[in-house]
Structure 1
Amino acid sequence: MTLQNQLWQFFDAHPDRYFSGEKLAQDFGYSRTAIWKAIQQLKKAGVTIESHPQQGYRYQRNDVLSQALIQAALPASLQSLPLTVLASAPSTNQLAKTAAVQQATTPQVFLADEQTAGYGRYGRGFQSPAHSGIYLSLLLAPMQDLSQVGLLTTATATAVMRAIRKTTGIQVAIKWVNDLYLNHKKVCGILSEAVSDMETQQITSLVVGIGIDFYLPNTSLPLELQAKVGSLFQTTPTITRNQLIAAILTEFFALYPTYPNGAFLNEYRAHSFLIGRRVTLQIGDRAIEGDVTDIDDHGQLCLATPTGPLTLNAGEVTKVHF
């Protein structure tokens, strides 16, 4: 681990405390000049570190997205993961799809502080204001049998749920197939898309978009959304977006190599708030009502309806009868 990364982890564990350059040099086994240079690199990466002649260096947490800070918090196996961080982009999924068409290396990660044309399922607009959310897209190569690609969204939901719990202690619930909820309000949506070769019509890449409302005071939302949309934090967050992003990537790539076997599905089921409830689903122009009995080993929703059992691999749950 580089000195820059060591210092970043140390400062992040001791915010708002002063440390002299001499003590840091002694503790880390480097010269004071090396410590100073590493701190300057951290400042350039977006870390807020104050310098005081009599007291030394003091770190203050901020929430500026930083490629260097995210990578510093990743395990060694992911240190070389290509990561693009932009202040603004129309859509991170579109960035990933454009890269796929250009035959970019996979896997790859795209992040933006805001999106000006963010979208969710069925092309619906997704409000993506600056400084308040996580807008992240993964560009991946297809793995194994493409019939199991449907499990990728459920696996991603599980990975994000794990990351949120481990970094914040917050336990979110899962709404099949692609949403995470907190206090009956949506805080995260996941959108998986395929990229095909125009000539062969074969799927060449997969794009997984993750949109999280991280810190969004309820009063900042349009009135019509306040009853439906929430955020992980309504008051000052206890962690930074950089930390949660690093945790999401860590959890995702730990799960990704084996996701087609569905081993994570028991955890997914345990945190689903649909199983055992009556729901209304929309499939095209058809509405279906039934009781959710299970989510099967392919990630499909199992329903008991007045006309018999149904197993669905697509559709949108439009109403949950609590």
Structure 2
Amino acid sequence: MASATSVYSAEPAFPVLADSLLRQSELSTKEPAPQSNIPAANSDWNLKDDWKKGIQTDSKGVFRCGTVLGFSRLRGRSDETHEYIGEIPRYLLINHLRRITQCTEPSTFIIYPGNFDAFDAQNLFDDLTAASNDHPGLSSEEAIKRMDTVQLLAVSDFHEAAQAIRQYSDAIDELEQKREEARSKTESDPSSHEPIMMIVVGLDYLVEGIIRASNPGKGVAMLTAALRSLTTFSRLHASYLSIILVNMSGLGPFNPDWAGNSHSTGNMNSRADDSAKPLDYAIHSVFHSEIRLFPNMLMKTLDQGTDVHFLVSDVRRVQVVEIIKDRVGTSLGKWGIWKEHREIVY
């Protein structure tokens, strides 16, 4: 743990296994989810195949190990609920849990503000036991076995989040040492080990507390330090570690005039807002190109800490996810329909 003078200093919190948070009375297998009749698309630009594949150790994958993936919603043109921004990362997590074969070691570490419920144990259990077009639902026993590999750590402020990152980083280092010892005994291929996920929720939301208590400069500095440590750690364990940031506050300036028709259509069939300022930052949305996504230094810092940035927004009553930045690959501009009329497209 860091010394008392470190920006990460805080009393360590104790992680808990996800299944211990389940309500015992609700441990029942869910009815299979209705199948979608929307045909699959095989176009290279479509993200659907990528999120079906999930977290990959292959360096060509969009959701690959060794990178920091960031998920953000578009402020004013998307739902502001936690479920809205958390659903796609949770889908990646569920795919990851379905595929693990070793349930004797941790597979996922989640850091989240206490008021963020998209990753709560009941949601994980429901998704694991529900059926989709690609997967039958797991039994309650098997779902709980997979959830035993997930460690959840709730935090209340940015200092606790930074300390939790250090705590989980140490845990992953120890896990890697055990894997190295196992490899030396069996002479197995390092690539045979399954990926590990670290999901960090709400750093953007938590740093606002630092800004209110101090000033924007200190908030940006502390956010930069945390993001830099995550980037460094992802590179150090690039062969098996995937880090996902889930941003809660949203991108773009808040504009109440976005309500109404423009809220649901983006700029595909409506003119740009006359009050919109010219783009002063190279990264933008293809569906909402008139909007400055990063109008202040805090948002720019948040983006700079991600390798691949996914933007979630509503376009013509459809929930769309698009890649607005890919600084380590060639996936910039890929997009896919996640939900249509509030029905999941698997």
Provide TM-score, normalisation by structure 2: 0.22
Bigger relative CO (Cα 8 Å, ≥ 6 apart): 2
Q: Which has more radius of gyration?
A: 1
